[in-house]
Structure 1
Amino acid sequence: MRKAILAGLLCVFASCAPRPLVPPSNGTIIPTPAFWESITPIGEILADPSGYQGREVTILAYYRGWDLLGEAGVGPPLTRSDVAVADPTGCIYIAPAGEEAMKDIPLRPFDREATETLLRLHGQVRRSPRGQPYILVTKGEVWNGLPARVLLRVRRTGGIAGMDHELMAMADGTLYFLDRKNRLHVRWKTTPDAVARTVEGLRPFLDQEVGTPVPDGFAYAVTVQEGEQIRKVIFHEGTLPGAADPALAPLREWLREAMERAPYPPPTPTAHPDAVRAAIRFLAMQLDLSPEAIRVIAWEPVDWPDAALGCPEPGKVYAQIITPGYVVFLEARGETFRVHTDRTGERACRP
């Protein structure tokens, strides 16, 4: 009897306390919320829909409306009013079990701003007549936090091309990248230790805004789950103190790798003038990349004031004549590059 009581007390205390994850190499323990244990990742449901058929589940997922960010990959299972929700492991449609089920979630399915809203949803896994899984929601509420097992989330916005990238890192090392603008996503794995070290590196900057906004600069809005607490920091690239670079380095590297892994369509050579294609080849040689790994963002014809094409080198003399050409904006490795050319593309340079 005493053993049973002791076991019960241990269970109660364990459920109330934050659960530690595998410690990073420096020995620091990162606490996580106890309620995560009751959350089912969407990816597990999608991987075994017949096994989950009829089961009650609770999920933590972002509202995606009418699959506004292209994560579901399929149409709604029942009616056109069905909406999608997504976590880093997958995307699934939901349908309310009744009028009261989602009365506290006044979101519009066509509103892209609503896709930042995290929801806690409880319901039963069902399958449509075509076999597509969905969740019949009996209770839903807006939630403050991150999806289960996500230790950090970063949203990178800005740049000349107006990028809008999202990255989530999970405790098991799963990384999920979403190009919100181009509706592309990709998942891959790093190590749990790498994720934990990245969180530790960000900790000195949490609850701050680091740097100041600059035109065409990137902003990194980072959210970290620390036990039951959510902490945030915004980094403004271009005006950062040197100490911030090591903290941002893993995020930049993950975003660079994501851009290489994401299924971006290859550029269509015939869609651009010869000079633009020459700019692609020029940048590919500089970065030691395949031209197919470079994406054209924008280009426009310009009249350079002299033969330097806007890239004068110290000590050189240039013909002082108006030189027609192009300014070309290219994207590679998650960064934006500017290339100047003459009219034919025989000469190219970077300012």
Structure 2
Amino acid sequence: MKPETSVPTQYWHRLDNGKVQCDLCPRFCQLNEGQRGLCFVRGREQGEIRLFSYGRSSGFCIDPIEKKPLNHFLPGTPVLSFGTAGCNLACKFCQNWDISRSRETDRLCDQASPSDLAAAAAHHGCRSIAFTYNDPVIFHEYAIDIARACHEQSIRSVAVTAGYVCPEPRKEFYTVMDAANLDLKAFSERFYEKICGGQLQPVLDTLEYIYHETSTWLEITTLLIPGENDSDTELEALSHWIFTHLGADVPLHFTAFHPDWKMLDYPATPIETLRRARQIALEQGLHFVYTGNLPDPEGNTTWCPQCASAVICRDGYRITEWNLTADGCCTQCQYRIPGVFEADHGHWGSCRLPIRIDTEAV
């Protein structure tokens, strides 16, 4: 049975001027009848805000969990990844812009109910399911229903998100998320306003909420764009904020920008920038700082903060050395490495496997 694609939503209210305001994210879109919000998948119909992409996807793929990126959450295991369309930010550098900025719901050619997705993840041996490619904030109801269906089959849920969400829906969302990689795009209001069409503070609020108020495992990613968010001053401020507000043990990933969408005239990020950023973050007291999107053995490795030995070595997304005990401690000094680990790591490697969800067979 094909899932319903238009469903009512909870977070909105009517205004005195006759419009309806969506209260899911800090954009607070105010809509007349028939209008869509900036995300495009939520809009006003028959006097209420509805989600128009429930049960629809732009595609499904099995990835290594490290690609999210998550280095301390079930390392080496496969994750069923999927997204829908639209986004509640407008980042000029978006590398999935054909999905996130899409205004054509016909792109959502794949359909699957929450139970279909849970069954498919179990069938393919995935340990988790990731809401990614575009931000799951905008398909809030669908993501929550999928997470609940997956939990019934002992499959965990992962949010790859920019964290641009209001407090009440945020609370509901993270009651069912087992892990999150939050994209902290920069550490300046200027960048968020000029490059992303948003604000920094709601993102910082989400980071603090996840870390202090939930059991969701948290990692952070910052994509470094030459000349925009890669100065020593900004990197020091970003790293210091994480250290003082979240602590030393939240993993931070610095990843490389490549020219895309509306920022084709910018150069790609050199590996030296990622290494410099990593060193700055380590000097600010962070224990687990990674580099990504470019080969860098040292920046891909998980190092023990106590004895400085390599506890997880990686070649890209493939684990090449594992020096953790069954309870996640360094085998050299018994220091407990924070994360969600098991007695042995997974062996999925770097494989990326596109799949179809057979709603009749699964």
Bucket of the pairwise TM-score, normalised by the shorter protein? under 0.3
If asked which structure has higher relative contact order (CA below 8 Å, sep 6+), I would say 2
TM-score (norm 2): 0.26
Larger radius of gyration: 1
TM-score (norm 1): 0.27
